[in-house]
Structure 1
Amino acid sequence: MPKFSRNYLSAVIAACLLASSGGVYAAPPPPPSPSSTSSSPNATPTVPYASDDPNYPLWNPDSNIVPQPMRGTFGANILGPQNIPLELQNPSLLAPPTTDHGDVPNAHWSFTLSHNRLQTGGWVREQTVTDMPIAKEMAGVNMRLEAGAIRELHWHKTAEWAYVLNGSTQITTVTPEGQNYIGTVHPGDLWYFPAGQPHSLQATADSPEGSEFLLIFDDGTASSEDTFLLTDWLAHVPKEVLAKNFQTKQSAFNKIPDRELYIFPGTPPADDAQPPVSPQGISSLPFTYEFSKIKPANYSGGTLKIADSTTFKASKSIAVAEVTVEPGAMRELHWHPIQDEWAYFIEGYARMTLFAADSNARTFDYQAGDIAYVPAPYGHYIENVGNTTLRFLEIFKTEKYQDVSLSQWLALTPPELVKEHLQVSDETVGKFQKQKQLVVGPQ
């Protein structure tokens, strides 16, 4: 009886196991000739080849169908009740790609599912680790202020970073050194306040509808409810103590609120508003950044631009990449070495697969208003599966933006070593790029 290599026998056993469980596989090549004495590496894979089965999304939110959990010969139709609108939004949950495997925690949340706090002058809704347990490093808040409305003077135990979605907002702050600062931020611009630094937010009248913005806190447990508010504090200090502190009459505080204001109407600030003159001066470190005016880098499939502490000096704990992806293109396969990613989708439809090591992979679908979370150093991509431009933010708890490109890694690794792993040709290896592609176009 001829002697076959251990690799060949392993491949045959694995193929038989797959066949017995209904799996699809490519049969291993014929065994080597018994007379062969070649000492060259055996080309037979130690496991079956990966399946060529297509794994495209089977529908999208605009499809006029009743979706079913079926892909090829797998699955069966639903006999019970269905939430069709939700199932149309999540094809990769109901009929996942066959490449999904194992267990990856939920990495999808929508602000639509968050409780909304309604105030006179605006509203606020949030996502914390309570909503998405995987999101341990950062939490998000979506806030809306009518023109002139004020998010009252306050501070947090975490840093606050913001991206303006619509309208304009005037921010004020005072540093621990007594320097003050006023700035106005417009759509696509940023602001940042370190932990514990007092500040306020007020929608301008630049837009008659006021403003809306995204807030990020650098702690997954942080909540907009856990805020140190001016009115809340003073309502819980005896008035005689207030009089002594400010060296005035107790009657001066007869009309202070007996509870927090949080968000309340106000007169829109003047366009040329200036801070009071401080003996310590105005902060030399801007707490706003005109990110909207930064020209993005162009790639074959879209654009990308970055703001971190190297450009937005004040932002010591949050970095961001704003990405656009054209239809059929994708944010390349990559990972972030030590930083979790909190992503927010502004427009378009996206699909993302998280690879969590040990054969664990799971695919999620996203649309405008959705949040994704990718723990470090999970491998992932973000693909535009719609027919319009996809735009989203990648946000990180870090001073400096970092990522590792799969294509660049392989292109800068000895090619023979890569071919041994992937059983690919020289031509294929030659297509791996030594420069990060970041956003790659459709084929």
Structure 2
Amino acid sequence: MQRVVIVGAGFAGYHAARKLAKGLKGRAEIVLVNPTDYSLYLPLLPEVAAGVLDPRRIAVSLTDTLPGVRLVLGTVDRVDTAARRVHYRDPEETPGDLAYDRLVLAVGSVNKVLPIPGVAEHSHGFRGIPEAIYLRDKIIRQIELAATAADPAERAARCTFVVVGAGYTGTEVAAAGQLLTRALARRHPALRDQPVRWLLLDLAPRVLPELSPRLAATAERVLRRRGVDVRPGTSVKEATAEGVLLTDGEFVPTRTIVWGAGVRPDPVAAGIGLAHLRGRIETDEFLAVPGYPEIFACGDAAAVPDLTRPGELCAMTGQHAERQGNAVARNVAASLGHGAARPYKHHDLGFVVDLGGWQAAAKPLGVPLSGLPAKVVTRGYHLMAMPANRIRTAVDWALDALLRRQSVQFGLVRSPAVPLDSADPELPARDLAAR
């Protein structure tokens, strides 16, 4: 029996594995290599950080939802294209390898960190459940410590939260986080007259530059109305343990810096030895790697030509990743003699941005929406897009609307586990100076 090895269980890898398992139905062995036993539904991560959703809601079990797929826990560090073998290390650092007849590389993306002094050491990324849990713990901790602080300057610094990057992730984190801190501060009489500040920074001239100006303005208006200090055209020049120095010269005392200024392909994509464009594995319109008909790539780490925009590459979005996963499954099956291959061509179906509470911005099929209608569309889209846990997620949303949000720290993740210099596999401190 021929073996198809899929590396990575993000949107692209997960959907590739699911469609291959259904399409081939035992006519080939499907092996999925991933560091965890779950696929993360990333769009709802800000709601985990804000305490709206239980972390397990967005962790989709691979063994439960992918029958017929063999899961191998591990992180791929090398691909021997001549011998057709994938080399990996399991969570306990034990090396292993797998032979393949077809290989699908869907390794995804990591935080994109700029060489700004202090950022890697003093800020925290937002790409996984550990970061979300830690951010939630830290927000609660800072509010509780501020309530007992005797020094007004310390109290103000602990009640100031800085988010760098006003794209989808940064905007949603600031929106959800502000509602969380507002609820937390109300429970502490000592903070009754203490302002809780959220700063949203970005060098772009407006928030959500990916959106139409009209909807971006709507989102910014919602944030400002809540008290979020939106600073377009401004970013961080230096970060320290005491705060951040902004590019406009202002120093903002803070103990919490969240880095959401974009993503980049996982470094393993460029290190495999295949041709790549700006760190993304080069593919043709069939998602096959030129010169290697047995290797395919999809998702954020694949440089897939965008047939709707000649000369451009597909954007690094979850929408593209999911559909590329389905497309690569069809083309891999065709290469094994089952069905016909088709080029990947996708038209944008719109977007949704959750702004917390009853606010959202959405543009499904080109129709701009805001407020409650956008919120209904946003949550409906997520429930349809999630591979599992839909009922539990809906129940969590209902409970959040009816009950007071819980505010205890988990204490499960230590601070050193999530700074950018340890969360990003290609950003140890010794490499910063070389960038």
Normalised by the size of structure 1, how large is the TM-score? Answer: 0.25
**Structure richer in strand, relative to its length:** 1
Normalised by the size of structure 2, how large is the TM-score? Answer: 0.25
**Structure richer in helix, relative to its length:** 2
Which protein is bigger by CA-based radius of gyration?
1
Higher relative contact order (CA 8 A, sep 6+): 2
